[in-house]
A and B are shown apart, each in its own frame.
Chain A
Amino acid sequence: MSRETEVHTLSVPPGGTSDRAFLDVRDLRVHFGTEDGLVKSVDGLSFQLERGRTLGIVGESGSGKSVTSMSLLGLHPRADRKGKGGAILSGEIWLDGQELVSATPEQLRALRGQKMAMIFQDPLSAMHPYYSVGAQIAEAYRVHNEVSKAQARKRAIELLDRVGIPQPDSRVDDYPHQFSGGMRQRAMIAMALVCNPELLIADEPTTALDVTVQAQILDLMRDLQKEFNSALIIITHDLGVVAELADDIMVMYGGKAVEYGPAKSVFTEPEHPYAWGLLGSMPRLDRPVQDRLLPIPGNPPSLINLPSGCAFNPRCAYKEACGTACTTVVPELEPTDGAAKHLVRCHLPVETRRTTFTEEIRNHL
């Protein structure tokens, strides 16, 4: 266990300061005891995020993105002492100087919706079908603020207006099913922002929406983040979404970060074979189909029995290049030699990674 534990001194925060970052996650582990065994959904994740900055978390289905975000908000029911019935959490989550892994449920509850808030993927199922949109937003406001119903309603209208809902003072009484998909997501955003949270997590905020609406929602989130100066985490399958929006990108695979660094260098010079695969499976409308790389072959790994060595090795086309290391030794998340902020978890020598990307991969993207 201790061998696998990350060497934290290596993970220089991309923010780069020695003081603790606004959000500082250290060696976060979220495991679930199930009948089939221990599911290691998140296994040793570390990252930092400052106010006003955006982190994009990318990875395939099942890589642990949602589990990570839910654990930041303390939304996982905790396991009992036998490790049953919920999540087993370890590591540290520092939010503005307060540690959340060891916080009490009541402390977490007071922070939720107030200091940290979440935008969920499917706004139709994430909103209560029997309460009006306005009532749901006002409720979020009233939990954390001593205001009258009328004041909360006014605040809800204000927020609906801010996120671009037309005629907010009449739409406020509509039910979620009366909104279009895009408007529902705007309303979700309004609900998340109603208490001016300093940390905003958007878990696949646009997956349920069509392409033009996606762009509008992303624009809106960018504007709002500037306005509120909040720290923003955007979770997505789609590297393209975070490439535009994020300052940093973290690529997750099997519950671990495999590549982490400034968005520009991760997006333009990715070094991990899995990240190449993700880039290749990005939908690109400007190229004929046969020119594009194939999506990553194979399936996401079992989180109960990760493949030995590098978790990606059964699906990796480059593992021969480094002998038996890929199947026997777990690679560390280490800085690439040039940019110290760009971290990669791969046994391939840095030079090989770079030349492979520039000579083989890039032309096909």
Chain B
Amino acid sequence: MLTFIARRLVAAIGLLIVVSFITFVIFFVVPQWAGQTPEQMARAYVGRGTTPAELQIVETRLGFNQAFLPHYFDYLKAMFVGTTYFDGTTYLHCSAPCFGYSFRTYQEVWPTVLSVFPVTLSIALGAGVLWLIFGVASGVVSAVFKGSVWDRASMFISLLGVSLPVYFIAPLAMLVLCYNWSLLPSPTYVGFTTNPASWAENMILPWTCLAFGYAALYTRLTRAGMLDAMSEDFTRTARAKGLPEHRVIGKHALRAAVTPIVTIFGMDFGALLGGAVLAEQAFSMHGVGALAINSIASQDFPMIMGVTLFAALFVILANLVVDVAYAALDPRVRLA
């Protein structure tokens, strides 16, 4: 088990390097292939009326005048040991893990990403707990009382849930709950350590709106999984042993049905940690997702690369956790 995790972590680092290479090619090399000169690329950052000397400084700082491979290796090296930038006039030290400086704000990329991460983490954590609990619970009830009023109602609501995106529900919910009824504050992020109660109060809307769609999906997944499990031979065996119905359903059938749900949850949650883009946009919260959107809009390549690698890291970690969890849940799976 431990060697499996160690080996997968090494593989994860390799994968991250591959991802970094690909993003690097896309953001630094493709424009040059497309015929842009380093001057033109630098000019995109400083505007028209710049003197050639100023342009030269920007070019050096951004590394546009370096050859591709040395440029990439500098970038890679900086991740592990940090680096010092020199643009002819000033030195800028960036300690490991260094993903460079934002073109726009001249802030270091990595600390910037980390500083907005609590927002994304807060949204994902609360929503994840909500949708897992409600999705699985209503899926189980729907399956057990298949065809009942409850089942039909929850299937209808979950159809709404999967078809209404969060950027539709969020303004609607804010309109009604925050402005019309004044039940909740219009969500702004308050740090958990600053004021836990206010943190939660502000998070309620993002959590529920984001969780709604996921819960709808998980209701359907759980219902289908439970119906499968309930028609399995081992469920019949559990009944034949004389187990009471709540044990048959709640232990034998549920255990089989939730195992795939847990793995799907791991993937969904990992992807959200890399940026809850839609929810952050809908509630104007500045998390990793909003950072990604803003960086793309302003062509802030180092920032885009930093966020991409950050998101990739979570997807890879989630994969690893899911594999380990699956092996722990299903004895037939051997980790090799």
Question: A residues near B, CB below 8 A?
Answer: 73, 75, 85, 105, 109-114, 117-118, 120, 122, 125-132, 139-140, 143-144, 175, 177, 191
Contact = CB atoms under 8 A, between A and B. Distances in A.
A112 B234 contact: no
A126 B237 contact: yes
Interface stretch (B46-54, B181-189, B251-259, B285-293): B251-259
B252 to A, nearest CB: 6
Contacts of A113: 240-243
A120 B233 contact: yes
A59 B115 CA distance: 73
The listed residue with most A CB atoms (<10 A of its CB), out of B147, B239, B241, is: B241
A45 B21 CA distance: 74
A175 B327 CA distance: 13
B242 A125 contact: no
Contact of A127 (B237, B245, B255, B259): B237
Contacts of A75: 236, 239-240
B234 to A, nearest CB: 4
B233 A73 contact: no
15 contacts: A75-B236, A105-B245, A112-B240, A113-B241, A113-B242, A120-B233, A120-B236, A129-B330, A130-B331, A131-B255, A132-B331, A139-B241, A140-B241, A143-B244, A191-B237
Given A75-B236, A120-B233, A177-B331, A130 B259 contact: yes
B234 A127 contact: yes
Contact of A112 (B147, B232, B242, B259): B242
A143 B332 contact: no
Given A120-B233, A129-B332, A112 B239 contact: yes
Interface residues of B, number: 22
B329 interface: yes
Contact of B241 (A105, A132, A191): A191
A132 B147 CA distance: 34
Contact of A130 (B237, B242, B256): B256
A125 B240 contact: no
A129 B234 contact: yes
Given A109-B244, A113-B240, A125 B332 contact: no
Contacts of A110: 242
Interface in B245-304: 245, 252, 255-256, 259
B238 interface: yes
Contacts of A191: 237, 241
A167 B94 CA distance: 63
A117 B232 CA distance: 18
A125 B256 contact: no
B233 A122 contact: yes
Given A75-B236, A125-B233, A127-B237, A143 B243 contact: yes
Nearest to B234: A128
A262 to B, nearest CB: 29
A3 to B, nearest CB: 36
B236 to A, nearest CB: 6
A131 B234 CA distance: 11
A111 B331 contact: no
Pick the 5 closest A-B CB pairs, nearest first.
Answer: A113-B242, A112-B242, A125-B233, A113-B241, A140-B241
Contacts of B147: 85
Contacts of B256: 128-130
The listed residue with most B CB atoms (<10 A of its CB), out of A117, A130, A132, A140, is: A130
B233 A126 contact: yes
Nearest to B255: A130
Contacts of A109: 242-245
Contacts of B237: 120, 126-128, 191
Nearest to B235: A128
Given A73-B240, A125-B233, 16 more contacts: A109-B242, A112-B240, A112-B241, A114-B242, A117-B241, A118-B240, A126-B233, A126-B237, A127-B234, A130-B259, A132-B331, A140-B241, A143-B241, A143-B242, A175-B332, A177-B332
A117 B330 CA distance: 28
Contacts of B244: 109, 143
Contact of A139 (B243, B245, B330, B331): B243
B248 to A, nearest CB: 10
B286 to A, nearest CB: 43
Interface in B203-252: 232-234, 236-245, 252
The listed residue with most B CB atoms (<10 A of its CB), out of A118, A122, A128, A175, is: A128
Nearest to B236: A75
Nearest to A125: B233
B39 to A, nearest CB: 64
B240 A117 contact: yes
Contacts of B240: 73, 75, 112-113, 117-118, 120
A126 B232 CA distance: 8
B206 to A, nearest CB: 36
Contact of B234 (A118, A125, A143): A125
A121 to B, nearest CB: 8
Nearest to B332: A177
A192 to B, nearest CB: 8
B298 to A, nearest CB: 51
